């Protein structure tokens, strides 16, 4: 729906396909819990889209990461390598299961984990790698998978921002041993709140299913060998997911068109770094349209964001690096570590309205506002 107040929110989802019809079916049939038929349908459709056998639908992307990490049975002292520049969910999932997150810096142009730094961080305690596809471009997965194979490491691929994106022709989320998705409303497919784990490995799939459902046992239901969680997705959420997934290709094309329009409108703004349009392994899908302000502009990100807000343009800052998170510093993690590219992106980057409901005139207005704020 167009926003009549004129404010352009940073994200607005599109829900005008079969969402209403499928939700009505849930209510009419009484299937509203996780037992309903849309859950399995959504799991199968997502798994098929990624070219994998199993999908395990859960309550959100963070929960999917936690279950995926927990499924690896890590011991205290075991290490998982992940980017310093990402959402807290990634490192939190590692910390919560008692293992140790180990960070690598990001590439200053793709903003993704710098795969060239991973080898130097591998130790005898390394058990897994967690690449995270950020802001629309995927991590260079081929050399990462090769390292994983050489060292016998599991790969948990966080593809929350890369639903439908590919890396060298392979679907993101289907390259690692476990792929993780989020269906928060700013993701390419939304269920309101929701997440999924994708894998080809029947044992890992079974383990994730068990962890999702309190580790109830088939034979003696209320006798527990292990502690799980209740991470079950409802049929209502899955109904939305099925309807959304039907339109994924259209959504991806729209995301790319939004990104291309911003690129054209902002290409000649001095001191403004725009997203990289492509790498040898992927075309940017512009999950969000991020910009990085050069230090020479003499304007901080909070100032720019505040001025854009006054112009009626919603924005969000970039992620804050893991080694600078107060909660992790208090735990004694990442002491004295520096990841200069992640630190700079966190201070100089933010993103513009990029939701699927965004109209072309909104993009023109947002770009014009940014241009005048920086002039």
Residues in contact with ligand PLP by CB under 6 A are 60-62, 86-87, 89, 132, 158, 160-161, 182, 184, 195
Least Cβ distance, residue 6 to ligand PLP (angstroms): 28
The edge-to-edge listing of strands for the beta sheet with 195-199 is 54-58, 195-199, 178-182, 154-158, 126-129, 79-83, 100-104
Cβ proximity to ligand PLP, 25 vs 166, nearer residue? 166
Residue nearest to ligand PLP (CB): 61
Rounded to the nearest 10 degrees, what angle do helices 301-310 and 360-374 cross at? 130
Cβ proximity to ligand PLP, 17 vs 185, nearer residue? 185
Least Cβ distance, residue 158 to ligand PLP (angstroms): 5
Least Cβ distance, residue 84 to ligand PLP (angstroms): 13
Sequence-ordered strand ranges (E) for the chain? 54-58, 79-83, 100-104, 126-129, 154-158, 166-167, 170-171, 178-182, 195-199, 272-273, 278-279, 282-283, 289-293, 316-317, 349-352
Neighbouring C-beta atoms of residue 295, cutoff 10 Å: 11
User: Which helix (H) or strand (E) is 342 found in, with range?
Assistant: helix 340-348
Least Cβ distance, residue 294 to ligand PLP (angstroms): 26
Distance between CA 289 and CA 267 in Å, rounded? 13
Give the pairing type, strands 100-104 and 154-158: unpaired
Contact indicator for 22, 364 with CB cutoff of 8 Å = no
Query: What is the rounded (10 degree) CA torsion for 353, 358, 359, 363?
Result: 10
Distance between CA 335 and CA 83 in Å, rounded? 16
Least Cβ distance, residue 181 to ligand PLP (angstroms): 8
Cβ proximity to ligand PLP, 188 vs 266, nearer residue? 188
Cβ proximity to ligand PLP, 130 vs 367, nearer residue? 130
Cβ proximity to ligand PLP, 114 vs 161, nearer residue? 161
Contact indicator for 286, 137 with CB cutoff of 8 Å = no
Least Cβ distance, residue 164 to ligand PLP (angstroms): 14
Least Cβ distance, residue 196 to ligand PLP (angstroms): 10
Cβ proximity to ligand PLP, 86 vs 210, nearer residue? 86
Cβ proximity to ligand PLP, 36 vs 83, nearer residue? 83
Q: Which residues lie below 8 Å from residue 142, measured CB to CB, with a gap of 6+?
A: 167, 168, 281
Cβ proximity to ligand PLP, 118 vs 373, nearer residue? 118
Tokens 């060292």 belong to 151
Cβ proximity to ligand PLP, 86 vs 235, nearer residue? 86
First to last CA, the chain: 32
Contact indicator for 183, 203 with CB cutoff of 8 Å = no
Least Cβ distance, residue 59 to ligand PLP (angstroms): 8
Give SS3 for 156. Answer: strand
Least Cβ distance, residue 62 to ligand PLP (angstroms): 3
């Amino acid at each position: 729906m167009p926003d009549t107040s004129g404010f352009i929110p940073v994200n607005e989802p599109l829900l005008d396909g079969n969402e209403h019809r499928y939700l009505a079916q849930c209510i009419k049939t009484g299937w509203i819990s996780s037992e309903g038929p849309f859950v399995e349908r959504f799991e199968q459709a997502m798994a098929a889209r990624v070219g994998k056998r199993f999908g395990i639908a859960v309550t959100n992307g963070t929960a999917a990461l936690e279950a995926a990490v927990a499924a690896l049975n890590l011991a205290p002292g075991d290490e998982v390598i992940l980017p310093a520049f990402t959402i807290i969910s990634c490192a939190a999932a590692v910390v919560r299961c008692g293992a140790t997150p180990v960070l690598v810096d990001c590439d200053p142009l793709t903003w993704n984990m710098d795969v060239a730094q991973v080898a130097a961080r591998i130790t005898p305690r390394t058990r897994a790698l967690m690449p995270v596809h950020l802001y629309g471009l995927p991590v260079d997965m081929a050399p990462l998978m090769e390292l994983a194979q050489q060292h016998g490491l599991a790969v948990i691929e966080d593809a929350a921002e890369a639903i439908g994106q590919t890396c060298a022709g392979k679907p993101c989320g289907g390259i690692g041993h476990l792929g993780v998705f989020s269906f928060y409303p700013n993701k390419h497919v939304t269920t309101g709140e929701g997440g999924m784990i994708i894998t080809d490995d029947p044992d890992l799939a079974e383990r994730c299913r068990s962890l999702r459902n309190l580790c109830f046992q088939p034979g003696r239901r209320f006798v527990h060998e292990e502690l799980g969680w209740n991470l079950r997705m409802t049929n209502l959420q899955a109904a939305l997911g099925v309807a959304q997934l039907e339109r994924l290709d259209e959504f991806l094309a729209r995301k790319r068109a939004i990104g291309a329009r911003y690129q054209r409108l902002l290409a000649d703004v001095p001191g403004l770094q725009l997203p990289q349009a492509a790498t040898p392994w992927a075309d940017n899908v512009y999950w969000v349209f991020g910009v990085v302000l050069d230090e020479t502009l003499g304007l901080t990100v909070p100032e720019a964001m505040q001025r854009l807000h006054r112009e009626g343009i919603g924005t969000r800052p970039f992620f804050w690096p893991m080694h600078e998170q107060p909660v992790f510093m208090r735990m004694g993690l990442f002491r004295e570590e520096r990841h200069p590219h992640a630190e700079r992106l966190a201070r100089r980057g933010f993103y513009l309205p990029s939701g699927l409901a965004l109209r072309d005139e909104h993009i023109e207005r947002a770009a014009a506002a940014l241009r005048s704020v920086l002039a």
